[in-house]
Structure 1
Amino acid sequence: MAPVSGSLPEARTAYLLKQLELALRARLDAAVRPHGLTVVQYTALTELSRDPGISAAELARRSFVSAQTMQELIARLEQQGLVQRVPAEHNKRVLETTLTERGERTLHASDHEVDEIEQDMLSDFDTEAVEALRQALRSCTKRVRKGA
């Protein structure tokens, strides 16, 4: 779309997504901080809740951090009593990470506030539009990953 004479060109979609990411990250950080969490820790707890015992490498990928950073993060969460690591039944050298009861309570308390942020963010959309947006974002992510 050509800009109207004297007006600024439209912002790129990638730029708009980055603006959303930064604004959302700030709100999420403020929401989980009172629960003693960072956004990355919250993400890790969420993924552990969805998939208990997930490998640290997969947890790192899903939490958008390096494997080394995830190892440090898991150690910190374990010190806080939010997760526990136990040897896997199939291989005692492999440690499976799961939420503790305290971790589940902390996640649940944080989820309430994160839900409010998400509801506020999507309040201008009906259910069908939200699902269409979610599908469009999944599709965009898939295509961008394919090109990498």
Structure 2
Amino acid sequence: MPDQTALRRDIRLGYLIHDVSRMRRTAFDQLMKPLGITRAQWWVLAHLSRHDGMAQTQLAAMLDVGKASLGSLLDRLEATGFIERRPDAVDRRVKRVFLSRSSHQLLERLVTIEAAFNEQILGGLNGEDRDALIRMLSTIKESLLKLELPDTTGLDTGEID
């Protein structure tokens, strides 16, 4: 029988990680609202700042989102002038995604805002504590990536077709 104290602690840790993540997302979304950008759009722009001109399908894989979901995000970013989609020079079926000039200015602002935000929420932790937190969360992330979960595709969920 599992140790009940350890079990409660581990369950509490899961809830705490979830709550911190949810609260951080909500607060960050509020900061982004005046700029007219969502956290998901910021995420796309941040990846493109490191991989400008990558194929749309590669970007979807890198972000671990579906092609349709990414397509909607890119549509909004393109409509606001933050990205451009261009056909690949070799394979015209492939669309490459590029940052626009205006997105570079926005990215500089977003990086500054995020740094101030992180300092505000992490201000109670010294550098050593921050490094330890990053190390521990990275260890948990690696464990999650290594999980071998059963394939549930095609299982009967009880829903009627």
| TM bucket normalised to smaller | 0.7 to 0.9
Residue 51 of structure 2 corresponds to 51
1:62 to partner: Cα distance: 4.5
Inter-CA distance 77–130: structure 2 relative to 1 (3 Å threshold): same
Cα deviation per residue 1:15-62 (whole Å; 9 max; x = unaligned)?
Answer: 111101111001110111111111101111111112112333343345
In the TM superposition, what are the counterparts of 1:40-119 in structure 2 within 5 Å?
40-63=40-63, 65-119=65-119
Instruction: Check if 1:120 corresponds to 2:126.
Output: no
Shift of 1:63: 4.0
Report the 3-state secondary structure (helix = DSSP H, G, I; strand = E; otherwise coil) of the residue aligned with 2:54: coil
The structure whose Rg is larger is: 2
Query: Contact 2:82 / 2:99 at 8 angstroms: preserved in 1?
Result: yes
Percent identity over the alignment is: 24
Distance 2:34 2:143 in 1: 36
Structure 2 counterpart of 1:29, one-letter code: D
Structure 1: which 5+ residue stretches go unaligned? 4-8
TM-score for both structures, normalised by structure 2: 0.78
Deviation at 1:93, TM superposition (A): 2.3
What is the rounded CA distance, in whole Å, between the counterparts of 1:133 and 1:97 in structure 2?
34
**What RMSD in Å do the two structures reach over aligned CA positions?**
2.0
Any gaps of 5 or more consecutive residues in structure 2?
150-161
CA deviations 1:91-145 (Å, max 9, x no partner) are: 3321110110111112222222111111122212222322232222222112112
Higher relative contact order (CA 8 A, sep 6+): 1
User: AA paired with 1:37?
Assistant: I
CA distance in 2, matches of 1:125, 1:59: 34
TM-score, normalising length: structure 1: 0.84
1: CA distance, partners of 2:136 / 2:61: 21
Aligned to 2:144: 144
CA contact (8 A) 2:48 2:98 kept: yes
Paired positions, count: 143
Report the 3-state secondary structure (helix = DSSP H, G, I; strand = E; otherwise coil) of the residue aligned with 2:131.
Answer: helix
